[in-house]
């Protein structure tokens, strides 16, 4: 697994560490009597660019049979957001993992503005960015035949029982739902041979006091880190929304659509060129989960 807090397992704490959907899914891949090797390289706060270095190299060295590529929310929260650059990174990682013979897992994700309940001038720019990320993921999913899970569905995002106190990460129930969704899709392809994860939590949920304490410590740190980078840009985006309010947001939507179209066209051109020349490209993954052959011995999940 490469990527950010979703794949690291934030929101599903077991024995003082994050477990998460990927570990739950790994437990249900092998048939009885067999084992799965599982490597988790995900780090909270990682961007598409962050996983392009050591995480990517370690994932390729692991030579996974399955690899998830689920990334982009952190990118939408940064002033440096560039859908074209993100699309090229995601395409390269999908191409390189696909070249190893790995089955890819992808997902489209909800926009953070809706999850946080931000006012429209602040929520619309984030929603516009996340729609672009999801459109790229859909295109890559079709190109590489990935196992794709829809996590931007309103039935998923509106069920608060699935989410942790910070309103951005799934709780244990939510991580179990993600794992069960991927398990079902993999079983349909004959790639999951063990039982699916149980839908109900196996431990009591955090108390309100525990949730407030987490928000006051780790949650406050998250807000402060994002505020230094995102807040000034988000205020500029909100100001642009308000300036266009009288005429509607059509010009802003059109600008985002043009950037997305250019990103998809550039990625398609890069892919065609690589196929013609037989060029091997360096892997630059987004968030990825990796599992080695089912006959391998189980390894301890790692993060970092």
pLDDT at 63: 94
Chain-wide mean pLDDT for the chain? 80
pLDDT given for residue 85 in this prediction? 94
The model's pTM is 0.82
pLDDT tens figures, 174-198:
999 999 999 999 999 999 999 999 9
SS (H, E, C) the chain: CECCHHHHCCCCEECCEECHHHHHHHCCCCCCCCCCCEECCCCCCCCCCHHHCHHHHHHHHHCCCEEEECCCHHHHCCCCCCHHHHHHHHHHHHHHHHHCCCEEEEEECCCHHHHHCCCHHHHHHHHHHHHHHHHHHHHHHHHHCCEEEECCCHHHHCCHHHECCCCCCECHHHHHHHHHHHHHHHHHCCCCCCCCCCCCCCCCCCCHHHHHHHHHHHHHHHHHHHHHHHHHHHHHHHHHHHHCCCCCCHHHHHHHHHHHHHHHHHHHHHHHHHHHHCCCCCCCCCCECEECCCCCCCCCCCCC
Q: What is the pLDDT of residue 223?
A: 55
Could you tell me which residue, 268 or 225, shows the higher pLDDT?
268
In angstroms, rounded to a whole number, what is the distance separating the alpha carbons of residues 108 and 135? 8
Whether the Cβ atoms of residue 11 and residue 169 lie closer than 8 Å to each other:
yes
pLDDT per residue as tens digits for the range 252-287: 788 899 999 999 998 887 665 555 444 433 332 333
């Amino acid at each position: 697994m490469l990527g950010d807090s979703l794949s690291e397992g934030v929101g599903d704490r077991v024995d003082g560490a994050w477990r998460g959907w990927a570990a739950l899914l790994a437990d249900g891949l092998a048939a009885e009597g067999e084992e799965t090797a599982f490597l988790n390289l995900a780090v909270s706060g990682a961007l598409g660019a962050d996983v392009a270095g050591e995480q990517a190299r370690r994932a390729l060295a692991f030579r996974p049979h399955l690899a998830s590529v689920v990334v982009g929310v952190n990118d939408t929260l940064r002033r440096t957001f560039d859908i074209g650059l993100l699309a090229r990174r995601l395409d390269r990682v999908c191409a390189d993992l696909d070249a190893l013979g790995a089955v890819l897992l992808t997902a489209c994700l909800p926009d953070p503005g809706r999850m946080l309940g931000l006012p429209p001038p602040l929520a619309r720019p984030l929603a516009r960015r996340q729609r672009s990320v999801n459109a790229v993921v859909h295109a890559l999913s079709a190109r590489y035949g990935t196992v794709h899970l829809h996590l931007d569905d309103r039935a998923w995002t509106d069920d608060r029982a699935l989410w942790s106190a910070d309103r951005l990460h799934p709780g244990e129930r939510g991580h179990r739902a993600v794992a069960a969704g991927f398990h079902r899709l993999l079983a349909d392809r004959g790639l999951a041979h063990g039982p699916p994860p149980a839908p109900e939590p196996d431990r009591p949920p955090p108390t309100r006091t525990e949730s407030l304490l987490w928000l006051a410590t780790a949650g406050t740190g998250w807000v402060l880190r994002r505020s230094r980078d995102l807040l000034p840009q988000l205020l500029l985006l909100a100001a642009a929304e308000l300036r266009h309010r009288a005429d509607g947001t059509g010009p802003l939507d059109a600008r985002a659509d043009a950037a997305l179209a250019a990103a998809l066209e550039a990625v398609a051109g890069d892919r065609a060129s690589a196929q013609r020349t037989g060029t091997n490209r360096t892997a630059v993954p987004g968030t990825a989960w990796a599992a080695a052959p089912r006959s391998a011995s189980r390894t301890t999940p790692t993060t970092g």
